[in-house]
Amino acid sequence: MASEDATSHSPAATPFKFSNRVLLKTILERGDGGMELVNQRVVIGGWVKSSKEVTKSSLPPKLSEDGYEENKTKDVTCVEILQSRIPLIRTLIRVFGGSVNAPSKKAESVVPKPLPPQPSTVYLLLTDGSSVATLQVVVESSIAPPSKIMPTGTCILVEGVLRQPSSEGKHAVELKADKILHIGTVELDKYPLSKKRLPLDSLRDHSQFRPRTTMVATVMRIRSALSFATKSFFKDNAFLDVQVPTITTTDCEGFSKMFHVATLDKKVNKKKLDTIYETEGVSLETVKDAVKEKSNIIENLKRSESNREALVAAIQDLRKTNELASQLEARGKTRSGTILKADKVDSSEEFFSGGTYLTVCGRLHLESYACALGNVYSFGPRFRADTTDSAKHAAEMWMVEVEMAFSQLKDSINCANEFFKYLCKWILENCTEDIRFVAKRIDSTCIYRLEQMIKISSEMVSYSAAVEVLRKVENKNFETNLEFGVDLTTEHLSYLADHIYKRPVIIYNYPKEVKPFYVRLNDDGKTVAAFDMVVPKVGTIISGSQSEERLDMISSRIQELGLPREKYEWYLDLRRHGTVKHSGFTLRFDLMVLFVTGLGNVRDVIPFPRSYGRANN
């Protein structure tokens, strides 16, 4: 009776609200590792990370004449022993030239029957994506065939009882299965993760399976936590969430590389372009096929552990082929414009009447709502058609954009700084197990780096002062010469944060030539009220500015840059009717994930990365 009371008061493993399975996180991330849940019956679902089979020890089976194991023992007489040796005696007679009577037909047809499979126990390490930790599941071969449940990647739904492991190890509890409710088998010859551990760049070719690896799953949980923290910060600080359009007619910066949105069928024009290339001896389609072939060669070299020299040579060859493809496409764009003009294509066939693009930035649209609602933010994808092969850039990246009415540059800087520290603190407090895994497997300094970002203040440096500091550097030769009016490169900015100040650096008052047209002009007429926050290891993670609220000033900037004024009339209306000083900033969300995890390439922190020439699914 006492034992029943104790059991009734023990904590229960709570199933997920929308199914009957228990998430592994609720078992394995308890303070005791799940020990308090021992003897409870649960349903667990997940994917096999690794497995082993242990055959149960038993004496060798004793076979009868028909091939089956004898169940009973009996005394053996001398006659029986002699009879059992008759086949041997007959064989000896044949060897020495004698003859024996042919065996009966019945004796020839007797074939020993195969042995029944030997019983075994299978040990599976299971993950369901809710935690870094895995649960050991013990399955007897009598419940499920080992060959079906052991391959890496197999999905199983299993019911059983939690218990203490029979032998000491890293697992506090294990699940003794007594029912298999579902088995999702794997085609071993086609499943990429069934082979040895793949490098991150190879995993990008299998985006559908990447999250099944412990590393990518951990990064995605951290990404999810940062997303939740973003919404929590702005909710706590009275910001409204506004969704800005993905399709726009406006170039928000005035000099962006944008994706054009079109529905017009250009198959005929494509054929004309291919004909032009082929008459010149080079086919664009041929070059693209060569790129695919060379990419496959590189992947095979990586998997076969070939010598590094061969791999490097193959990568260089692929890079040259990509450059050739870029040149042909650039030439094609020029000629396609000529062809379209000559063919007099009717623009009414387009879905939108005017030129439309995927948005590069949503701050212009956010201003409309800031000038009515006060403080607003948006969180979504932005697109740049930049062919630069950079570890910090992808064609589609997520941005957190903020706009505040009745605010100036210093207000935007303060908000950005506080937001950045909030995200760092959130990860340390809410992603303990994931950040420990990152420290163990990816970047041993990640926890210390986040703690420092919370404690220390950012270094405030004007653009002019930053240029002077970099000019005085003697032990470093920068690729781009420094002079006033030149945009600071990634190399310049990273050197300031990583080597000179060794902390976040906020650079402000940039030359007007290097910032978007809408940024407020300072009194000197040369610089604008803009800033960049540069952090160690990643570089520029936040960019912000005070927007130009004066109609005459922004009108002159539009004219100065030669922008089509009719595209910005809606934006100028905000200056004509109830203008207000306002400022904001953009946080590059994917780079924030990169900063937290310590990974080197932004494509490894994006669920489905899109980059030049690569959009696999």
pLDDT 10s digits, 531-560: 999 999 999 999 999 999 999 999 999 999
Q: Is residue 177 pLDDT above 90, yes or no?
A: yes
Q: What is the mean pLDDT of the chain?
A: 83
C-alpha distances out from residue 371 to 78, 309, 412, Å: 109, 59, 16
> How many CB atoms sit inside 10 A of residue 373's CB?
14
Side chain identity at residue 1, one-letter code: M
**Distance between CA 246 and CA 359 in Å, rounded?**
5
Greatest mean pLDDT range, 203-207, 232-236, 560-564: 232-236
pLDDT above 80 (res 341): no
Residue 180 structure tokens: 């298999």
Q: For position 345, what pLDDT does the model report?
A: 41
Say which amino acid occupies 364: L
Q: What is the pLDDT of residue 439?
A: 97
Using 50, 70 and 90 to split pLDDT, how confident is the model at 95? low
Query: What share of the chain has pLDDT > 70, as a percent?
Result: 76
Q: Taking the chain, what is the end-to-end CA distance rounded to the nearest angstrom? A: 59
Looking at residue 466, its pLDDT comes to 95
What is the side-by-side order of every strand in the sheet holding 375-383?
240-241, 375-383, 396-405, 582-588, 539-546, 527-535, 505-511, 459-462
Q: Which residues pair with 510 in a beta bridge?
A: 528
Beta carbons within 8 Å of 346's beta carbon, 6+ residues apart: none
Per-residue pLDDT of 355-406, as tens digits, reads 889 999 999 999 999 999 999 999 999 999 888 888 999 999 999 999 999 9
Residues 542 and 413: their CA atoms lie apart, in Å, by 10
Query: 96: number of CA atoms within 13 Å, CB side?
Result: 5
451-473 average pLDDT score: 95
How far is the C-alpha of 287 from the C-alpha of 317, rounded, in Å?
12
* Amino acid 483: pLDDT: 83
CB 51 within 8 A of CB 123: yes
What pLDDT is recorded for position 469?
94
- Look at residues 227, 253, 241 and name the one whose alpha carbon lies nearest to residue 359: 253
Cα separation of 355 and 357, whole Å? 7
User: What phi and psi, each to the nearest 5 degrees, are found at residue 118?
Assistant: -75, 135
Burial 509-534 (b: 16+ CB within 10 A, else e): bbbbeebbbbbbbbeeeebbbbbbbb
Q: Which residues pair with 530 in a beta bridge?
A: 545
Block residue for tokens 């034992």: 3
Partners of 461 in the β-ladder: 507
Which residue bears the tokens 């928000």? 252
- The H-or-E segment that residue 451 falls in is helix 446-455
- For 291, residues 6+ apart whose C-beta sits below 8 A from its C-beta are 318, 321, 322, 325, 613
Phi, psi angles (nearest 5°) of residue 8: -70, -25
State the Cα–Cα distance between residues 195 and 601, nearest whole angstrom: 23
The rounded distance, in Å, linking the Cα atoms of 510 and 493 is: 13
Residue 531 β-bridge partners: 508, 544
pLDDT tens by residue, 103-120: 544 445 566 677 677 899
Residue 80 has pLDDT above 50, yes or no: no
Answer yes or no: is pLDDT of 500 > 60.
Answer: yes
Q: At 135, phi and psi to the nearest 5?
A: -110, 135
The token duo for 598 is 């310590």
Greater confidence (307 vs 55) lies with: 55
What's the confidence (pLDDT) of residue 268?
A: 43
Is the pLDDT reported for residue 520 higher than 70? yes
Q: Partners of 400 in the beta sheet?
A: 379, 587
Q: Whole-model pTM above 0.85?
A: no
Spatial distance between the Cα atoms of 531 and 613, rounded to a whole number of angstroms: 32
Q: Quick one: pLDDT at residue 311?
A: 60
Whether 307 has a pLDDT exceeding 60, the answer reads no
pLDDT tier, 336 (very low <50, low <70, confident <90, very high otherwise): very low
| CA angle, 505 then 509 then 512, to 5° | 130
**CA-to-CA separations, 584 to 256, 366, 396, 542, in angstroms, rounded:** 19, 9, 21, 10
- What is the signed CA dihedral for 562, 567, 570, 573, rounded to 10 degrees? 20
pLDDT in tens, 562-604: 888 998 999 999 999 999 999 999 999 999 999 999 999 999 9
CA distance 543 to 413: 9
pLDDT of residue 168: 77
pLDDT band at residue 250 under the 50/70/90 scheme:
confident
Q: Which of 172-176, 334-338, 349-353 has the highest mean pLDDT?
A: 172-176
Q: Is 12 helix (H, G, I), strand (E, B) or coil?
A: coil
pLDDT value of residue 389: 83
Q: Where are the alpha helices (DSSP H) in 130-283?
A: 146-149, 200-203, 214-236, 267-279
Please state, in angstroms and rounded to a whole number, the distance separating the CA atoms of residues 316 and 438.
31
What span, in angstroms and rounded, lies between the C-alpha atoms of 483 and 468?
9
What percentage of residues in the chain have a pLDDT greater than 90?
Answer: 58
Mean pLDDT is lowest, of 245-254, 310-319, 409-418, for 310-319
Q: What is the pLDDT of residue 279?
A: 41
Tell me what pLDDT residue 2 has. 41
DSSP assignment of 43-109: EEEEEEEEEEEEEPP-PPPPB-TTSSBP-S-----HHHHHHHTHHHHHHHHHHTT---PPPPHHHHT
Token pair for 496:
């300031």
Mean pLDDT, residues 267-281: 46
Determine the Cα–Cα distance for residues 421 and 419; give it in Å rounded to an integer. Answer: 6
Instruction: Give CA–CA dist 35/163, Å, rounded.
Output: 8
Q: How far is CA 193 from CA 151, 200, 313, 588, 601, in A?
A: 10, 12, 26, 31, 21
pLDDT band at 9; cut points 50, 70, 90: low
Q: Which two tokens stand for residue 98?
A: 């004698």
Tokens of 240: 């409204």
- CB of 399 closer than 8 Å to CB of 362: yes
> Positive or negative CA dihedral for 309, 314, 315, 320?
positive
pLDDT at 252: 80
Max mean pLDDT among 75-79, 305-309, 423-427 falls in 423-427
Is residue 138 scored above 90 in pLDDT? yes
Owner of token pair 């005459």: 552
Cα separation of 544 and 586, whole Å?
A: 6
Give the list of residues 6+ apart from residue 522 with CB closer than 8 angstroms, or none.
509, 528, 529
Q: Are 383 and 259 in contact (CB under 8 A)?
A: yes
Alpha-carbon torsion, ordered 77, 78, 79, 83, to 10 deg? 100
Between 168 and 284, the higher pLDDT residue: 168
DSSP E strands, 245-374 = 247-248, 260-261, 356-358
Q: Which of 202-216, 394-408, 475-489 tops mean pLDDT?
A: 394-408
- Please report where in the chains the tokens 């496409």 appear, as a residue: 329
What pLDDT was estimated at residue 448? Answer: 96
pLDDT tens-digit readout, 145-170: 999 999 999 999 999 999 999 877 77
Mean pLDDT of 424-449: 96
